[in-house]
Structures are given as C-alpha cells and as structure tokens.
C-alpha cells in the first residue's frame, strides 16, 4: 500500500517536513473537520494522529464523531485518560471499546493509530491499536459490522453531543498530522506512517480520504484557524458562507462602481439546501417600487420537481428585461454545487449554468438606475432569501466570455486580474468575524466594497466549497495556537 522507499518522502522532487502543530487548551478549544468521510456504510477504517499530551488527570477526547446519549448514532471516538488510551465505536445501543493500559508520556510526541476491519474472522483481529508503530492490544469483543453515514461532522479535541450540540472532554496538548483512511491499514502500513518517529508524506496513498496537517497548513482568519483538508491541494476556494433562507444576507454597498450601465456580468457558485421556488436570491441590486424598478438581479433555485428556475433581470428604458427559464426537469439536485453566470453586452442578455448557455434575450440599450437604488446584496434582500451555501461571487462591468470564468473543471477559477472586475467576494475564504458586533466582513478582492453580514453567526463559515469538502475550522482558538513544534 505504501510503495515509497524507507524515507517515505513520496514525491522525490519535493522535500517533506512537519514543523508546526496545533495546541489545545483543555478548556474549550476544538476543531470541526466537516462531515465524517463515510458515504453509506464503512466496514473498515483507520485513524492516525500524532499527540503530545499536556496532562493525564482527566479524560480527554482526541477526536469524536457525533454522540447522542438518547438515540445512539453510529460513531467512533479516540480518547485518553491516565493509563488508558481507547478507541470507542458505537452502533445503535451497542458500545465497544478498544482499550490499552498504556500511559502516554506528558510532553513527548506519540503516534497513535487505530484500525477497524469488520471482515476479520475474530474479535481479536477486528480492531487494533498501535502506539509508535507497535500493536499494543486487540479487541476482546466483537465489534459492529459497519459504520453508517449520519451526515455529521468529525471533531478534534473534544466530545460532541449530537443531541444538544454541546461539547465536553476537551483535550489538553498538541495534535499533528491527522489522517483518516477508508481501509484497514496493515501493521506494515502503520510502521511506515510512524517512520521511526518522523511524520511522513501521505500524498496519493490508497484509501486516504482526509488528511489535516494541523499547524503546517493552517491560516488564522479572525477569529478562526482555517485548516484545509490536505488532499485538496491548490484549491482556489475551500470555504463558503451558509445562508439560512430566513434573514441572512451580506450587503456589499451602493458605490457607483457597482452600477455598470453599458454591460454587466454576474457570477456565483451556489449549493442550495431547500427546494422552494421563492428560495432563490443570489445577487440582488433591484428594489421593486411600483412603476420604477431599477438595477439588476440574479436568481436561481432547484425546485422539488427537479426543474431549475433561473432569472436574470436588468432595468432599461423599456422596463425590466430578463432571461427567465424553468429548465431541464429532473436534472438538478439539492446539496450540489452549481455555477451560475449572466451577462448583458448592450444587445443581448445571456444565462449560463455550469458553462452552458441556457437562454438569451435581445435588448439594445443601457442598464438604468435612479435615486431609489439601495445597493447590492448577496442573498437577495429584501426578498427571495436563499437557504444555501454561496461562494466566489463576482460582478464585472463588461460582458465576460464564459471561458474567462468557467474552465470546465467544475471548480472555481481565480478571477484576480480579470478585466472589468468591479466586485469579487471569496466569501468564507477571506471573511473575518466580529463577535461584539455579531457580523462578518467579507473583503472585496477587486476594490473597496467590503461586504457586511446581517443576522449571521460564527457558525456560518463552512468548510465546504465547489470540489473541496471537509475543510476544518477551529473554535475558541487563535493564531497563538499554531505552534512551531512537531514530532
């Protein structure tokens, strides 16, 4: 499985090193790593991490998938307390433990690896625990046959109680190089990962589904540490903003730069959560006052029947001009990312979905605004509020060719430097949160039209983006918790 030479450097052209970790205070520090990487059922998995414990006086969870005391979720947890290192797995009302009697040294780096394989014939071989590459103990009782997907997040540094969202058993110490495999690692695989006490490059390894390098690839965006899942390298975006469809929106201003007249392009990535025709706002700069609409708007929604409703409007001297479609029955789904783009070049309005033209409308003239123009909102205020994750929103004062925005890969492209760009909001990627004001600031990457959120919380930055899932976010941690120390 690990075909590397003894040095386990992976790509010989790249030197691999681990020089940073994350420190947890044992009080309330924790990290959400996105949904547990299980599709439907999982009959084998392995979990590897490096730890440097700060104390052994109380029980501490190193990691936890959601636990519900009243209605047990399928989940697993790794925890430690004085003299006991445990893998706990639960299914329904069944709880099984893989316990060792090993005391981990305080202040010293230790590699832990837990392996579960339901296909093994005996209880003693179904579950194994390795410390520093050595198998310490096998399970003494039969474990369940599979881990079932519950669409819940995986946490580091705490136990998460799914029933009420509370967290407890916080970890005190450092964690580094966390990885989750959807296969059962062999003893040789575990030995290779341990690598005589030096973390190794896991790039491209079979069965690897999530890998968090902790301090090594973390960035602090107040008030959170952002830690992209490391198998998703070189992504333009790893984070988006979640809108609740009730009253969440982001206002990006009414500057004249956001009032193009001769031409316009609107672009955004959207992952809709609710099938509702009225639940459709993406970019709204049009306020309907009877007899005097003004500005522009882009709406789209996935309906219960699978139709996509798409609406692009501008206001002209002839009134509202639009491209409006109910498009492709049965072809669209909730909880999937779609790229929406609309252009007006002075003669034609054009609508695109995932790089494909879905319709056009002819009109020759200009976009008009009047004194009632109130500015631009992401997510449709004052109406058409969308329950969706939204990412990579942009406005141009030219009609862009689709190839300038969409490269066919199904993921965002970097729009920095594109001609005509007057507003560019990377959403969760660059956002910062003011806990006192209870608002997000979404920087404008193209100018000075920074967005300000309304009715949104610290939980509304999510580690999900087009073609990039399971990216981690910290809670109650700051830049000082990125430590220049590692195994």
9 in any annotated domain? no
CATH code assigned at 373: 2.60.120.200
**Do 172 and 54 form a contact (C-beta atoms < 8 A)?**
yes
Q: Are both 450 and 319 inside the same structural domain?
A: yes
356 in any annotated domain? yes
| Residue-range definition of the domain harbouring residue 289 | 240-462
- The tens-digit pLDDT sequence of the chain (487 residues) is 655 433 333 333 357 889 999 999 999 999 998 876 655 567 788 889 999 998 866 667 777 766 554 444 556 677 777 666 665 655 555 555 556 667 788 899 999 998 888 787 766 677 788 899 988 765 544 444 555 555 667 889 987 776 667 888 898 999 999 998 989 999 999 999 999 999 999 988 889 988 999 999 899 999 999 999 888 777 889 999 999 999 999 999 999 999 999 999 999 999 999 988 777 889 998 766 555 667 899 999 998 888 899 999 998 888 888 888 878 777 899 999 999 999 999 999 999 999 999 999 999 999 988 777 778 999 976 667 899 999 999 999 999 999 999 999 999 999 999 999 999 999 999 999 999 999 999 999 999 999 999 999 999 999 999 989 889 999 999 999 999 999 9
d(CA 307, CA 407): 25
Q: Are both 124 and 252 inside the same structural domain?
A: no
pLDDT at 41: 67
Burial of 204 (0-12, 13-18, 19+ CB in 10 A): exposed
Q: Are both 318 and 417 inside the same structural domain?
A: yes
86 beta partners: 79, 99
Instruction: Please give the structure tokens belonging to residue 14.
Output: 């790249």
Q: Are both 136 and 164 inside the same structural domain?
A: yes
Q: Are both 299 and 351 inside the same structural domain?
A: yes
Regarding beta strands 337-344 and 264-272, do their DSSP bridges make them parallel or antiparallel, or are they unpaired? antiparallel
**Helix and strand counts by DSSP (H, E) for the chain:** 3, 38
**Count of structural domains, the chain:** 2
pLDDT at 306: 86
Q: DSSP 3-state assignment of 403? A: helix
pLDDT at 326: 77
């Amino acid at each position: 499985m690990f075909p590397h030479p003894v040095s386990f450097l992976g790509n010989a052209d790249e030197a691999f090193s681990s020089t940073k970790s994350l420190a947890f205070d044992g009080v309330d520090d924790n990290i959400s790593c996105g949904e547990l990487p299980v599709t439907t059922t999982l009959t084998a998995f392995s979990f590897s991490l490096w730890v440097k414990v700060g104390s052994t006086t109380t029980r501490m969870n190193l990691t936890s998938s959601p636990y519900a005391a009243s209605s047990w979720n399928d989940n697993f947890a790794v925890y430690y307390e004085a003299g006991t290192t445990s893998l706990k797995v639960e299914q329904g009302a069944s709880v099984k433990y893989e316990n060792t009697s090993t005391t981990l040294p305080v202040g010293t780096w230790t590699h832990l690896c837990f392996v579960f394989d339901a296909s093994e014939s005996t209880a003693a071989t179904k579950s194994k625990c390795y410390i520093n590459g050595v198998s310490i103990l096998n399970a003494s009782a039969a474990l369940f046959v599979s881990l079932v997907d519950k669409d819940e997040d995986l946490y580091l540094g705490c136990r998460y109680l799914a029933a009420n969202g509370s967290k407890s058993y916080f970890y005190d110490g450092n964690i580094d190089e966390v990885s989750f495999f959807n296969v059962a690692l062999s003893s040789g695989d575990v030995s290779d990962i341990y690598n005589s006490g030096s973390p190794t490059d896991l790039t491209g390894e079979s069965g690897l589904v999530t890998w968090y390098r902790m301090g090594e690839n973390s960035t602090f965006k107040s008030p959170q540490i952002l830690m992209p899942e490391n198998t998703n390298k070189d992504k333009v975006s790893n984070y988006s903003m979640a809108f609740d469809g009730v009253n969440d929106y982001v206002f990006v201003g009414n500057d004249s730069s956001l009032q193009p007249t001769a031409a316009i392009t609107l672009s955004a990535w959207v992952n809709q959560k609710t099938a509702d025709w009225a639940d459709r706002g993406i970019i709204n700069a049009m306020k309907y006052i009877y007899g005097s609409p003004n500005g522009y708007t882009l709406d789209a929604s996935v309906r219960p029947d699978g139709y996509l409703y798409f609406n692009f409007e501008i206001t002209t001297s002839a009134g509202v001009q639009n491209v409006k479609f109910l498009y492709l029955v049965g072809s669209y789904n909730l909880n999937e990312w779609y790229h929406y783009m609309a252009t007006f070049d002075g003669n034609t309005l054009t609508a695109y979905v995932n790089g494909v033209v879905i319709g056009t409308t002819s009109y020759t003239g200009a976009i008009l605004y009047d004194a009632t123009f109130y500015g631009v909102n992401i997510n449709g205020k004052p109406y058409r509020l969308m329950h969706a994750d939204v990412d990579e929103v942009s406005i141009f004062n030219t009609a862009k060719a689709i190839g300038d925005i969409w490269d066919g890969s199904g993921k965002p492209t970097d729009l920095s430097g594109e001609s005509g760009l007057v507003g560019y909001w990377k959403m969760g990627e660059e956002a910062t949160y003011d806990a006192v004001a209870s608002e997000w600031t979404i920087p404008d990457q193209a100018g000075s039209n920074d967005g300000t959120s309304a009715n949104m919380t610290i939980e509304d930055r999510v580690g999900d983006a087009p073609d990039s899932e399971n990216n981690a976010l910290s809670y109650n941690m700051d830049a000082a918790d990125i430590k220049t120390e590692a195994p």
